[in-house]
Copies of this chain bind each other. A is one copy, B any other.
Amino acid sequence: MNVGDWTERFQGTRALPRPVRDRLLEIARVRTYPKGRQLFAPQNIPDSLLFLYEGTIRVSQTSDNGREIVLYRLEAGESCVLTTACMLAEEAYNAEGVAETDVIGVTLPKPAFDGLVAEEPAFRDFVFAAYSRRLIDLLRVVDDVAFGRIDVRLADRLLTLVGANKEIAATHAQIASELGTAREVISRVLHDFQKRGYIAQSRGRITITDKPALRVLAGNA
């Protein structure tokens, strides 16, 4: 897999001196992972830092009784620091990362990572910023789950998932696991959205017919 000079793609590497970048291009491995592939899990923690060159990774957490909630998504240009966090942590946790699309990633072995953090302020800032981003994301999740209404959260998530398109290919159960709730709850609220004319549904497919209304409901009007 040749993606050319991937160091151009990341804030943390773009700002590095040319020689350092050349060395990175040698050291790091570019790899592809198919959609659906589990990239990390409690039992399976990689010993390197992952830069996401292309695609999306969904990071989620599963409860003891099997329910799931999506914590955040990694987009191209970001790096997955949760894995580095987990390397250090001895405590139990249960987050996992799954490739949501076909993914191209660059893996940087831990020694090289350590060296860069030590020597390159730009890289260091990038790493800390990545940590911050995740912390902030989690704060948002806590806020939503603890204090948010399910219809508001669902409206917001539908808008996120649909992006610039009109349709979402997802079952009610999948959406429920986005928000950490039960399938029946999603079915009921979607039914309500449908009655109000915000969406149309068919098996495994949701068509957004009134984005503005959803935005109002989501509070992102």
Main secondary structure, interface of A, reads: helix
Which residues does chain B contribute within 8 Å of A65, judged by CB atoms?
147
Question: Does A20 touch B at the CB level, under 8 Å?
Answer: no
State how many copies of this chain the complex holds. Answer: 2
User: Which one of B85, B135, B146 lies within 8 Å of A63 (CB-CB)?
Assistant: B146
In this complex, what residue of B is CB-closest to A127? B128
> Do B128 and A88 touch (CB < 8 A)?
yes
A69 to B143, CA, bound (A): 9
> Do A85 and B136 touch (CB < 8 A)?
yes
> Do B85 and A128 touch (CB < 8 A)?
yes
The segment out of A33-41, A116-124, A161-169, A206-214 that lies at the interface is: A116-124
A119-B118, A124-B117, A180-B146 known; A139-B88 Cβ under 8 A: no
Question: Does A30 touch B at the CB level, under 8 Å?
Answer: no
Contact with B along A127-163 (1 / 0, CB 8 A): 0110111111011111101110000000000000000
22 A-B residue pairs with Cβ-Cβ distance under 8 Å, sorted by A, are A63-B146, A69-B147, A71-B142, A85-B128, A85-B135, A86-B132, A93-B139, A94-B139, A94-B143, A95-B139, A117-B124, A118-B119, A118-B124, A131-B131, A131-B135, A134-B135, A135-B135, A135-B138, A138-B139, A142-B145, A145-B145, A147-B180
Known: A64-B147, A85-B136, A93-B136. 16 other contacts (CB 8 A): A61-B142, A61-B143, A63-B143, A67-B147, A71-B139, A71-B142, A84-B132, A85-B128, A88-B125, A91-B133, A93-B139, A117-B117, A135-B135, A138-B142, A145-B145, A146-B180
